[in-house]
Amino acid sequence: MEKKQFERPYIKKLQAGMPSKFGMKSRVEPLTHIEDNGVGDLIKEFGSPLFVISENTIRDTYKKALHAFSIRYPKVQFAWSYKTNYLDAVCRVFHQEGSWAEVVSGFEYDKALGNGVKGSQIIFNGPDKTDEDLKKAVENDSLIHIDHFDEMYSILALSEKSGKKPKVAIRVNMDTGVYPMWDRFGFNYENGDAWDAINRMMINEKLELVGLHSHIGTYMMSTNSYKVAAGKLADLAHGIEKKYGVHIKYIDIGGGFASKNTLKGAYYPGTDTTPSFGEYAEAISSGILNSELDPRNLPTLILETGRALIDDAGWLLGTVIANKRLSSGNRATIVDVGVNLMFTSFWYEHEIFPAAPVSEHLEETTLYGPLCMNIDVLREAIAFPLLKKGDHFVIRRVGAYNMTQWMQFITLRPNVVLLDTEGKPHVIRKKETMQNITEQEVLPGHLT
């Protein structure tokens, strides 16, 4: 018989919380498989750490979101937010489902073109579009969302040279009852800047104003703020129709829906508090439908949802490096996943599961990453079973922003694997090598 691992006894204060009729929850169920792939097998084949993305989950989530909006509003179009996860394989799954592309830089714009998205189905957002970017977007008939007056003048100058009439929208920021307000992007609604921008464009006639855009924030828990935003954009569209007789083709309400992750310090888990797609859709569609807009000629509703469409589809698999006791007596477990890969651990309390059945004995544990840096903490305090060196674990809901905001810092970035609709794994981004890093470096002659 194998000798059991020693677990030190300790005294635990029972927290007054919300026990069920059986008492406090004191078990951690292991997460042994990701869609029929054993966690250990995946790590054996592709290494640790390892990002795993499920194509089925992406497609299912997308279909649910589209359905929630389509049953409430007649014309709906999603545009995939590239910065949320711009791995080509991920983008192509969204494009296959019918999503356009929403990009915020020249680099992302080129990535969308490379993924076969038609120019006219690329929405170009963001405050930093170079003249070269704008020229390309005008030539390709893309939808340029103007962020500030300087950009408007650049596009006007370009349109004079190219003889094309660029298709533009303006980004509008506004008070939706959620603070701090994101007023650094676009033109403000309440102070009249939005109307100022609209009037200058309509008088000039060198630009075609096709849309109105807002993106009020990210991880927005308040559905009512979307109702307010949609209502204000609809009022602008109605005002433009009345004043200029011009029909606005679309209202783009941006992204920002919360995912089911739990924010740090939240009392209830995100799975209990996050509004559903249906609740967001209800708020947004009533904001538009209750406006003065002509119901027989409604604008298309565009959504640039990022986080809520991809977070659930990503897992991060890792391995325990060591356990130790801190001077406080608390247990610390050191793992091979750091904040360099898990940018979102700065604001989420990610759910973390052992990958194999473990003891029922939970102890408050701090989970540290492998970086030689004090802020490298995945979870400050998680009720966790004792995992031994070499044991695997799974972090849930990491699909949004981690694979774009990750850093090459101290270690190299690992493989990313996509499980196709049959569950078969494919590497969609190879782990980095020393050469990837050093080929960008140049040694001056006197140092060779």
Ligand X SMILES: *Cc1c(COP(=O)(O)O)cnc(C)c1O
Q: Does 275 bind ligand X (CB under 6 A)?
A: no
Q: How far is the CB of 217 from ligand X (least distance, A)?
A: 8
Q: How far is the CB of 185 from ligand X (least distance, A)?
A: 7
Q: How far is the CB of 124 from ligand X (least distance, A)?
A: 10
Residues 35-94 that bind ligand X (CB under 6 A): 81, 83-84
d(CA 304, CA 102): 7
Nearer to ligand X, 84 or 99 (CB): 84
According to CB under 6 A, which one of 136, 167, 227, 307 is a site residue for ligand X?
307
**Segment (H or E) for 144:** strand 143-146
Beta bridge mates, 232: none
The token duo for 54 is 């499920």
Q: Does 299 bind ligand X (CB under 6 A)?
A: no
* Cα torsion through 327, 330, 336, 338, rounded to 10: -80
According to CB under 6 A, which one of 291, 305, 345, 365 is a site residue for ligand X?
305
The token duo for 235 is 């009022």
Instruction: Please enumerate in sequence order all residues whose Cβ is within 8 A of that of 388, keeping only pairs 6 or more positions apart, or say none.
Output: 5, 320, 323
d(CA 378, CA 380): 7
State the alpha helices, DSSP H only, in 24-172: 39-46, 55-70, 88-96, 106-114, 131-139, 149-162
Q: With CB under 6 A, what is the number of residues at the site for ligand X? A: 16
Question: Residue 205 CB: number of other CB atoms within 10 A?
Answer: 8
d(CA 235, CA 291): 7
Q: How far is the CB of 123 from ligand X (least distance, A)?
A: 8
Choose the binding region for ligand X from 2-10, 110-118, 268-276, 302-310 (rule: CB under 6 A): 302-310
Q: How far is the CB of 14 from ligand X (least distance, A)?
A: 38
Q: How far is the CB of 314 from ligand X (least distance, A)?
A: 13
Q: How far is the CB of 417 from ligand X (least distance, A)?
A: 22
Q: DSSP letters of 19-32?
A: -BTTBS--------
Q: DSSP letters of 298-351?
A: PPEEEE---HHHHGGGEEEEEEEEEEEE-TTS-EEEEES--TTT-GGGGTB---
Choose the binding region for ligand X from 27-35, 152-160, 250-258, 323-331 (rule: CB under 6 A): 250-258
Scored b (16 or more CB within 10 A) or e, 23-40 reads eeeeebebbbebbebebb
Q: CB-side exposure of 310: number of CA atoms within 13 Å?
A: 29
Choose the binding region for ligand X from 173-181, 241-249, 301-309, 313-321 (rule: CB under 6 A): 301-309
The token duo for 324 is 């130790």
Nearer to ligand X, 57 or 125 (CB): 125
Q: How far is the CB of 347 from ligand X (least distance, A)?
A: 12
Q: How far is the CB of 184 from ligand X (least distance, A)?
A: 11
According to CB under 6 A, which one of 43, 90, 102, 365 is a site residue for ligand X?
102
The answer to whether the CB of 175 falls within 8 A of the CB of 223 is no
State the alpha helices, DSSP H only, in 115-148: 131-139
Q: How far is the CB of 311 from ligand X (least distance, A)?
A: 9
Strand runs labelled E in 341-435: 352-354, 363-368, 377-384, 392-396, 416-419, 425-429
According to CB under 6 A, which one of 119, 166, 211, 254 is a site residue for ligand X?
254
Beta bridge mates, 100: 79
The answer to whether the CB of 99 falls within 8 A of the CB of 441 is no
Nearer to ligand X, 305 or 365 (CB): 305
Q: Does 125 bind ligand X (CB under 6 A)?
A: yes
Choose the binding region for ligand X from 148-156, 190-198, 253-261, 341-349 (rule: CB under 6 A): 253-261
Q: Does 350 bind ligand X (CB under 6 A)?
A: no
| Alpha-carbon distances of 365 from 27, 332, 393, rounded to whole Å | 15, 5, 14
Nearer to ligand X, 254 or 369 (CB): 254
Q: How far is the CB of 78 from ligand X (least distance, A)?
A: 11
Q: Does 304 bind ligand X (CB under 6 A)?
A: yes
Choose the binding region for ligand X from 93-101, 136-144, 241-249, 299-307 (rule: CB under 6 A): 299-307
Interface pattern 204-243 for ligand X (x via CB under 6 A): -----------x--x-------------------------
Nearer to ligand X, 227 or 307 (CB): 307
Nearer to ligand X, 217 or 370 (CB): 217
Q: How far is the CB of 275 from ligand X (least distance, A)?
A: 13
d(CA 448, CA 446): 6
Nearer to ligand X, 215 or 397 (CB): 215
Could you list the residues that contact ligand X (CB under 6 A)? 81, 83-84, 102, 104, 125, 215, 218, 254-257, 304-307
